Amino acid sequence: MDHRNLHIVVVSTPGIGHVIPVLVLAKRLATLHGVRVTIVRVTVAGAPPEPKLFTVPYPDDLVRILQLPPVDISHVVDESTQIVTRLFMMFRAAASSLRSAISALEPRPDAIVADLFSVETPGICTGEFDDIPKFYFIASNAWFSALAIYSPILDREIAGEYADLHEKLAIPGCVSVAPEDVPDPMLDRNDEQYGEYLKIGRSIPLFDGILISTWEELEKETLKAFRENETWKSIIDIPVYPIGPLTRPAGELKPSSELFSWLDKQPDDSVLFVSFGSGGVLSPEQTTELAWGLELSRQRFVWVVRPPTSGRADDEFFTVGGERSQETLAHLPEGFVARTGERAILIPMWAEQLEILSHPAVGGFLSHCGWNSTLESITNGIPMIAWPLYAEQRMNATLLTDQLSVAVRPAVLPAKKVVSREEVARLVRSVMEDDETGRRMRERAQQLKITGAEALINGGSSHKSLSQLLSKITASKKKQPTTPLL
Ligand code: UDP
């Protein structure tokens, strides 16, 4: 079916890890299906400059990026205001300009896609946009999506803090979630962000479908539960579209020539990449232990280094991109740079991660397990050391280790307890050395890489799923009064 006359709006909230999959989705809709996409971005006053990625050109001008006037929530937050609360506040502060912006679009949109923290979009789009289908885009996995949708039910059925439970949380048709793995917003039921987080589950049924950045082979059981489990059908009776993996193609950005010429000289699969996503930071003590562990492992590595924090592990979530590079190396153990010498490259603050992971020399990834990073590792066939810090990353780490067998993880939970240098060195060796564990994880990661690529080709499960979504939008457009294209 031809979808070239469709115009889709994607509402995008702040946070690089949220914006990147929106850009990838928009680009895929435009490149593969010829769909016109307008990304309407909620932006924040005083945000630092963004990585170059946001200026990468888009195909045939089919993708437009519309920045809403920056919102300022500084007068209503303080140090204790958690990320999820802030994101909901930002969205609400932008709600009226968002509605006006969508209203003014030409041609009139045929569908609205809302990202994770724009879950209240249907509420602000009532009236004028009632006839337009709305979809919810979760740039994470199906297992987390199931928990988010089921959370209002858990809230009613379970008393006390989830983290104090002795039994796993049962979700219909899915693998149960260990109490220590529940996402951050579920950790404190008295915090405002818990109430906000529950709104995700409560609002999803107002959409016409859910898009998830996963694919059939990766999460068969959970996706089957969404389709076939009777309890699920009674909770949300809307289709789930697995359309992943949503990762941008490597090569859009050019990493520093110094880094790449160094990588070019290293043997295949010999370099560990160490990075904690767009917002992750470690404590001073953990930074020291990690540095010593990397050194003791005697393996090659590339490390994106940030100054340590004495605060929260997500301290840099809204600030990455700032000019703080000179501070970073000062926090490493004395003599570290000289001793690791030829074996290591340290990159302050931010690196072209996808391009690095796609280099043949890179054979392991020590990652905070943000879902984008996870997908970027899997789609390059790279096994991981799972080092979850915040958000839903502990679930992602468990998915990677226990269900997908492509990662090892520290015995203690990073961000709660310090992972010792000996443990770091042991984990690094187990992923990088050519022994049984490393070989098995590498093979498994290669298999998943293949299934991910197959899902995306014409006729593959995710390609089909995205086509089905577009057919649904096209069918609903036919019922609407026609509007001329520009
Ligand atoms: N990223 C990057 N360079 C960095 C850190 C992050 O390119 O130095 C990109 C990374 O490739 C991924 C995104 O930023 O696409 C981070 O998203 P993820 O879901 O992994 O984690 P989050 O930052 O949301 O915690």
What pLDDT does residue 321 have?
46
The whole-chain average pLDDT of the chain stands at 93
Residues 107, 37: Cα–Cα separation, whole Å: 11
Report how far ligand 1's centroid is from the alpha carbon of 105 (Å): 31
What pLDDT does residue 53 have?
66
Q: Which residues are catalytic?
A: 18, 115
Report how far ligand 1's centroid is from the alpha carbon of 16 (Å): 7
The label of the residue with tokens 């000019």 reads: 323
Please say if the pLDDT value at position 401 is more than 70: yes
Instruction: Assess whether the previous peptide bond of 185 is cis (omega < 30° from 0).
Output: no
Question: For the chain, which residues make up each domain, given as ranges?
Answer: 7-248+459-474, 258-449
Share of the chain above pLDDT 90, in %: 84
What pLDDT does residue 330 have?
82
- Encode pLDDT of 270-312 as tens digits: 999 999 998 899 999 999 999 999 999 999 999 999 999 877 7
Query: What's the CATH number of domain 7-248+459-474, 3.40.50.2000, 3.30.300.30, 3.20.20.70, 3.40.50.2300?
Result: 3.40.50.2000
Nearest to 304 by CA among 350, 358, 335, 344: 350
CATH of domain 258-449: 3.40.50.2000
Q: What is the mean pLDDT of residues 371-394?
A: 98
Binding site membership of 17 for ligand 1 (Cβ less than 6 Å): yes
Residues 228, 423: Cα–Cα separation, whole Å: 42
Please say if the pLDDT value at position 322 is more than 50: no
Please check whether the two domains, 7-248+459-474 and 258-449, share a CATH topology: yes
Three-state secondary structure readout of 113-159? EEEHHHCCHHHHCCCCCCCCCEEEEECCCHHHHHHHHHHHHHHHHCC
pLDDT band at residue 257 using 50, 70 and 90 as cut-offs? confident
Question: pTM here?
Answer: 0.95
- C-alpha angle with apex 402: 385 to 289, nearest 5 degrees? 25
What pLDDT does residue 142 have?
98
Cα 345 from chain centroid?
A: 25
Please say if the pLDDT value at position 116 is more than 80: yes
The DSSP annotation for 400-467 comes to: IIIIS--EE--SS-TTTSPPPHHHHHHHHHHHHSSSHHHHHHHHHHHHHHHHHHHHHSTTSHHHHHHH
Q: 326, 302 in Cβ contact below 8 A? A: no
What pLDDT does residue 324 have?
45
Q: What is the mean pLDDT of residues 411-427?
A: 95
Please say if the pLDDT value at position 485 is more than 80: no
- Encode pLDDT of 337-379 as tens digits: 999 989 999 999 989 999 999 999 999 999 999 999 999 999 9
CA-proximal residue: ligand 1, atom 24 (nearest): 17
Binding site membership of 278 for ligand 1 (Cβ less than 6 Å): yes
